[in-house]
Structure 1
Amino acid sequence: MPLGIVIRRVPGVTRWATHVWKAVAVLPGAGGADWKEMRRDGDAVEYHAATLPLELFRTDTEAYLHGLSAKEPAIYVVMRPSESDRPLDMVLATASPYEAQDYADTGEELVEKVPMPEGLIAWIRDFVELHHEDEVFVKRRRDKARIDRKEDGIGDARIRQVADVYRAPSRKETVH
């Protein structure tokens, strides 16, 4: 589903940041856009920055369930500083909090949490109901092999004394 990304620019509060950019909304089913100004309210300006595809995958339904069960379900918008004339490059829009966390962990991208519209919640919930399969927990069982009898890697082969295999070798005990 195409998602329009709405970005708000407000004046910065420090002399080092002239503007603060923040993703504030998504527009489900939006057409293409390239930093189109939508609304101006004093110094605050909202742009339809880009339209990104929201892709859902059957293997990620557990993540979508986790996101939908949050107090306020959200779409995560991943952005990075632009190297062109645009202020930011829109990288990804995702409904998976796990994928958003992966991007946030790198520290190279900005990840913004945007409230999910009701229609989008219903669309994702329908997808999850259709494709989600609970994974059955299988407890791992130990085999009965006795591994405590082996002493691989214990001590130093250069030490002749069997009684203290953990002692470091000295110069006079070196085997030639």
Structure 2
Amino acid sequence: MSSDMRLPTIARPSVQVAVVMERQARPNQWEAWRFKLIDVVPAEPAFGSAPRVLRDDGTFQRKLYPGFTVELFRDEAEGYHLNLASGAPVWFVVWRSDDEDPSVAWPETVSVSYTEAGRWLDAQERVDNVPLPADIVAWLQGFTEEHYRPEPKQRRRPQSFLAPGDRQ
């Protein structure tokens, strides 16, 4: 293959979103700051590309973080199915805080995969969630129906048919 040939890029279904987080000063005597995921909203050109403060009254500050792309991958279809099957589908948002300045936190990434969120939690990440709007649920449902194939159930041999050393 010549070096000037390019592989075709595969366009994945995706949606552009922004994350809204809230910071509360001195929520109790043990915490200096508390952070909360408020919403994930469709991206708008007016949001720009830099985070910006929406409101700040000295106690509560709401900040908008634009520029997140949520892509759907066929190999994550089971995670999408689990999210949809939960009865209350959600956005999953990983966020971090600054070790040197505990008054600062920011979202890192956004997903709709239950299994991806589980991997983040296993890695000790902070993961919060907020409900998915109906149009995103429909979009995710369409993709999941097209790509999710449950693994066939395998019949387990009754324990009585196994040698005693092979039994659990």
Report the equivalent of 2:4.
none
Deviation at 1:58, TM superposition (A): 0.7
AA at the equivalent of 1:19: W
1:134 counterpart SS class: coil
1:68 aligns with 2:80: no
Distance in 2 (CA, whole Å) between partners of 1:54 and 1:65 is: 16
Larger relative helix fraction: 2
Greater RCO, CA 8 A, separation 6+: 2
Q: Which residue of 2 aligns with 1:87?
A: 104
Spell out, residue by residue over 1:15-37, the C-alpha distance to the aligned partner (whole angstroms, 9 max, x if none): 45322111110012344443212
Question: C-alpha deviations, 1:40-90, integer Å up to 9, x for none?
Answer: 567322211243111111111121111112232111100122368781242
Are residues 120 and 42 of structure 1, via their aligned partners in 2, closer, same or farther at CA, if it must alter by over 3 Å?
A: farther
**RMSD of aligned residue pairs (Cα, Å):** 2.8
User: Which entry has the higher C-alpha Rg, 1 or 2?
Assistant: 1
Distance apart, 1:8 and its partner CA: 1.1
Separation in 2, partners of 1:70, 1:114: 13
Is residue 37 of structure 2 the alignment partner of residue 23 of structure 1? Answer: yes
- Partner of 2:67 in structure 1? 51
Matched, 1:37 2:67: no
For residues 97 and 129 of structure 1, what CA distance do their matches in structure 2 show?
A: 16
CA contact (8 A) 1:50 1:90 kept: no
Going from structure 1 to structure 2, the CA distance change for 1:88 and 1:42 (only over 3 Å counts) comes to closer
1:54 is paired with a residue whose SS is strand
Contact 1:5-1:27 at 8 Å conserved across structures: yes
Q: Which runs of 5+ in 1 are unaligned?
A: 142-146, 149-176
Deviation at 1:14, TM superposition (A): 2.9
Match of 1:102 among 106, 116, 119: 119
Q: Residue 50 of structure 2 contacts residue 65 of structure 2 at CA under 8 Å; is this kept in 1?
A: yes
Instruction: Read off the aligned partner of 2:32 and give its amino acid letter.
Output: T
Report which of the two has the higher share of strand: 2
Aligned residues: 144
Whether the aligned pair in 1 keeps the contact of 2:93 and 2:129 (CA below 8 Å) is yes
Gaps of 5+ in 2: 1-14, 158-162
Aligned-partner Cα distance in 1 for 2:37–2:113: 17
